[in-house]
Structure 1
Amino acid sequence: MIDDPKTHRDTPLARQIKESIRRDGPMTVQSYMARCLWDDPHGYYRRQRVFGATGDFITAAEISQIFGELIGIWAGVVWRNVFGAPGAVTFAEYGPGRGTMMRDALRAARVVPGFSEAVRPYLIEASPTLAGLQSETLADFRGKITWGSKLDEFAPPAIIVANEFLDSWPVAQWIKTGDGWRIRGVSLDPAGELQFDTLDGDCPHEAFDALLPDAPPGAVVETQRLDRLATALQSLMQRGPVVMLLIDYGHTIAAAGDTLQAVRAHQYESPLASPGEADLTVHVNFYDLASTLHRAGLALDGPVMQSEFLGAVGIVERTSRLMAANPQRAGEIETSVARLLAPSGMGSRFKVLAARSPDLPPLPGFRAAVPANGSSGQT
């Protein structure tokens, strides 16, 4: 999206960021994104209602209850067939949003004998506001649920799920110029408005030239600090078996591209337009993610397209049963599931990757483990 300073809004955080740049100089895109999302008190996730029809975006779990139900049944099958039905298992969710997916998952997982008695739900949430909302959503299960803010402060054996979690992790951006690769950042234009700019500083020129030898001027490369996730999973694996299911929109082939985007009230706008009042996200690079987790010693299944994974775990059968049980809502149910599976939409844009302790067998819903180079060849 082309940035137009005329569309910028003078939000409280915008004023603070401008003052910071005047005082300390330009900031990296990574720092800008982090402040927009997590600044206290003006960051986006410090605000109240960001999910659902009255918020700024809707996740798959908000579109159809079937999404969360299938995740819950999948977790129950993993507990029984992969872990061997231990007496206690942590069922953790990173970035649980409103708690909708966990609620639907726990309700549906009751069909797996013994799982409800063994499961210990654990929500990893950094926002007190969202934690309060999750408590409301999960009122029927509240007595069993524990909240925490760190990625590895719970006990294995553990099944971890993360839906649209990594897309909000701040990215560093690098841009190709006539003089080579430079850091991309945010500065002020002559009128004092926010603008994207190139910054001085250390840049991995050789790595980018080797990865993208034909990249033209203006090409952008993004990198995320995925080692933080890998380190947390390594820490958990030292204490017991771990399985993680990651669902997010992104790509599986290393490529250049500026994927930073902003959504406010379900409408796209420039990432510089409304600091602190729009959701900033990026596309997850599943090539880097798989490579990072593989180097950390985890075995991988996938990535596959969301439509393929949901089909493998029974979305068609579950949808048919739900429509038969609720004929007055059959059209609504069918439409919502179609959104999850659409070949030109969520069904292909969203990818699913699973990681597991290396001594565990392959997980349900996947055809084969990902190659050692981390790429499945899908886009």
Structure 2
Amino acid sequence: MRSRLLRTARCLGRDYTKPSAQALRCSGARWQSTSGREWSTPLAKTLAEAISVTGPLPVAAYMRQCLTSDLGGYYTSHNEGRDVFGQKGDFITSPEISQVFGELVGLWVVAEWMAQGRKSEGVYLMEVGPGRGTLMDDMLRTIRNFPALASSLEAVYLVEASPSLREAQHKLLCGDKPIEEIDIGHQSYSKYADNLKVIWTEDVRFVARDPAKTPFIIAHEFFDALPIHIFQSVPPSQPSAPSEITTPTGKHTLNETARLPRASQTNSWRELLVSPTPPYSNHASLGTPKSQQSSGPPPEFELTVAKASTPHSLYLPETSQRYKALKNSDHAVIEISPESQAYAADFAVRIGGGTAPTPTPSLAATSSSTTTTTTQARPVSSSKPEPVHKPTPSGAALILDYGPPSTIPTNSLRGIKQHRMVSPLSEPGLVDLSADVDFMSLAETAINASEGVEVHGPVEQALFLNAMGIKERAAQLVKRALDRERGASLEKSEGERRKEDLTETVKRIETGWKRLVDRGPQGMGKLYQVMAIVPHVPPKEGEKRRRPVGFGGDIVV
């Protein structure tokens, strides 16, 4: 039994190497451990048994296992018919709400391509965390209306860890065109262009950082799912110590500073760790939403403050002056995502050149959320990354996600199930986990990684979409639906049915785009932020710095 637990514990520090032989997730069963305690999922049981051997887990390791473990991770589960997106799933995303969202993101790429000189070759699209492929499908449908850009595209890269989502993306983007395995993942061809490759890879490292290429990178609701570490500033301890010492010269009184170890004279960072809730506990644990604290049993896991420093708490909060400034604020809580920083650095290097680490397991101190058997089998150098020399920066990255525009996220870890907020520490593998994105950290990381880039934003999604013309595009769709109805010659009964369909179509278009820009509590216009990483081009004398469209700039014709 102990050897099995040790093997499980070691797995928490690396990626699982092969998918499970059968689906282990089960929403209607309880799973019993050898101690007799029942757990909601097999993954909950596995985590609890591993923690009993190795001790509490960092929140980042817990999140990674809940989302991507092959023992029933939220995104890597192989349950047939399970769809986490849409009304029947757990949440709905902007591209699913309105096709206009993806169309405008596609137009943003077109506008940046124009502003950067209309490259005729070497252009590629890359989306990280592409969901069901809805956003990329809307983008490609829009881009094909600009033949010069469409012909310059050499590939579409989708960084995706989930086999089931890859299948959905292939069906939507490629139709009935076959998919084949290649050295970096899988490949097929777009239904919009016979020669446009669609390539799936499980790790961004397999997409070469070629200085001759022009990448346009999209990250929509991607960073919020990357693991975070949580730290709390703890005041100096006051250990009991003698107030005086006896020496050959007599007794001497110690002042308070001298009585304390040097390390205890200032605040220190302590990491918040995940451990099982004690059996028969009836209290709400730290990390449980208020809406869940007054009813039902407590979550199966809880957050506790580490009693001593951990390697993460000694290093990560010291990487930025923003974190250091809060160290002496008693009980201040900060959230840091090293994987998010690594992705931002990777995007910046692809666009502007430079040297930056890629999002690797070592950077996050535990296994990468996107590395599986096939990636382990492929050659990936663990040595220091080679610098990318890019004389002329090109390309762009667009990041759309939720989080505070200018402050460090705190207490933002959340669980979502069936469109409701639930405890992130309950039902591991059945609950989606996310946390607010630290946009300022992404901006700081990108600028430090490459001298060839600059960052614009974040701006509210409402501002960005309005600037891109969401209202006008929605009006076009409504007019098109009305014109189609007027031009149809139908029998009365069929006409009445079509009239009802038309009413529903118009209603869906109107409610969809308005929800995306609504700045109220139920809307997405203020909650979501948009940030762009673009080439840094110093303005000529007498000229103003160019701003991208959507961020205060105009379209370059």
Shared fold (TM-score, shorter chain, > 0.5): yes
Q: Does 1:14 align with 2:44?
A: yes
**Secondary structure at the residue paired with 1:322?**
helix
| Structure 1 residue 230: Cα displacement | 3.6
| Structure 1 residue 59: Cα displacement | 0.8
Question: Is the 8 Å Cα contact of residues 212 and 256 (structure 1) preserved in structure 2?
Answer: no
Structure with a larger share of its residues in helix: 1
Query: Number of matched residues?
Result: 360
Of 56-65 and 221-230, more deviation after overlay is shown by: 221-230
Q: Does 1:160 align with 2:217?
A: yes
Q: How does 1:1-379 map to 2 (within 5 A)?
A: 10-47=40-77, 48-119=82-153, 120-140=155-175, 141-142=190-191, 144=196, 145-152=198-205, 153-154=207-208, 156-177=213-234, 179=236, 180=267, 181-191=269-279, 193-199=300-306, 200-202=308-310, 203-204=313-314, 210-212=324-326, 215=329, 217=331, 219-225=332-338, 226-236=340-350, 237=353, 238=388, 241-255=394-408, 257-297=410-450, 298-327=453-482, 328=502, 329-344=505-520, 345-359=523-537, 362-367=547-552
| Structure 1 residue 246: Cα displacement | 0.4
Aligned to 1:376: none
Aligned to 1:371: none
**Secondary structure at the residue paired with 2:110?**
helix
Moved over 6 A (4+): 205-209
**Secondary structure at the residue paired with 1:335?**
helix
| Matched AA of 1:168 | A
| Matched AA of 1:37 | L
Question: Is the 8 Å Cα contact of residues 173 and 184 (structure 1) preserved in structure 2?
Answer: yes
Identity, % of aligned positions: 34
Supply the distance in 2 between the matched residues of 1:170 and 1:26 (Cα, whole angstroms): 16
- Post-superposition CA distance 1:118-177 (Å, at most 9, x none): 223221112222111111121352553111223251452111111001000100001244
- Post-superposition CA distance 1:184-214 (Å, at most 9, x none): 0111233184211111324357768852367
Question: Is the 8 Å Cα contact of residues 217 and 347 (structure 2) preserved in structure 1?
Answer: no
| Matched AA of 2:301 | L
Question: Is the 8 Å Cα contact of residues 212 and 255 (structure 1) preserved in structure 2?
Answer: no
**Secondary structure at the residue paired with 1:246?**
strand
CA RMSD of aligned residues (A): 2.3
Question: Is the 8 Å Cα contact of residues 458 and 531 (structure 2) preserved in structure 1?
Answer: yes
Supply the distance in 1 between the matched residues of 2:510 and 2:226 (Cα, whole angstroms): 32
Q: Unaligned stretches of 5+ in structure 2? A: 1-37, 176-189, 237-266, 281-299, 354-387, 483-501, 539-545
Question: Is the 8 Å Cα contact of residues 262 and 279 (structure 1) preserved in structure 2?
Answer: yes
Supply the distance in 2 between the matched residues of 1:336 and 1:343 (Cα, whole angstroms): 14
Supply the distance in 1 between the matched residues of 2:118 and 2:550 (Cα, whole angstroms): 18
Supply the distance in 2 between the matched residues of 1:232 and 1:189 (Cα, whole angstroms): 38
Supply the distance in 1 between the matched residues of 2:322 and 2:537 (Cα, whole angstroms): 35
Q: Unaligned stretches of 5+ in structure 1? A: 1-7, 369-379
**Secondary structure at the residue paired with 2:455?**
strand
Supply the distance in 1 between the matched residues of 2:57 and 2:138 (Cα, whole angstroms): 41
Supply the distance in 2 between the matched residues of 1:76 and 1:19 (Cα, whole angstroms): 51
Query: Structure 1's 208 and 348: CA in aligned 2 closer, same or farther, altered over 3 A?
Result: closer
| Structure 1 residue 255: Cα displacement | 3.9
| Matched AA of 2:159 | I
| Matched AA of 1:347 | G
Supply the distance in 1 between the matched residues of 2:233 and 2:327 (Cα, whole angstroms): 11
Question: Is the 8 Å Cα contact of residues 231 and 335 (structure 2) preserved in structure 1?
Answer: yes
Question: Is the 8 Å Cα contact of residues 77 and 112 (structure 1) preserved in structure 2?
Answer: no
**Secondary structure at the residue paired with 1:356?**
strand
- Post-superposition CA distance 1:76-96 (Å, at most 9, x none): 222223242323410111110
Supply the distance in 1 between the matched residues of 2:159 and 2:401 (Cα, whole angstroms): 17
Larger Rg, first or second structure (1 or 2): 2
Supply the distance in 2 between the matched residues of 1:291 and 1:132 (Cα, whole angstroms): 36
Query: Structure 1's 62 and 75: CA in aligned 2 closer, same or farther, altered over 3 A?
Result: same
Aligned to 1:375: none
Structure with a larger share of its residues in strand: 1
Of 118-127 and 206-215, more deviation after overlay is shown by: 206-215
Supply the distance in 2 between the matched residues of 1:98 and 1:28 (Cα, whole angstroms): 30
| Structure 1 residue 331: Cα displacement | 1.8
| Matched AA of 2:140 | L
Supply the distance in 1 between the matched residues of 2:121 and 2:91 (Cα, whole angstroms): 38
| Superposition TM-score, scaled by structure 2 size | 0.61
Query: Structure 1's 256 and 263: CA in aligned 2 closer, same or farther, altered over 3 A?
Result: closer
Question: Is the 8 Å Cα contact of residues 221 and 402 (structure 2) preserved in structure 1?
Answer: yes
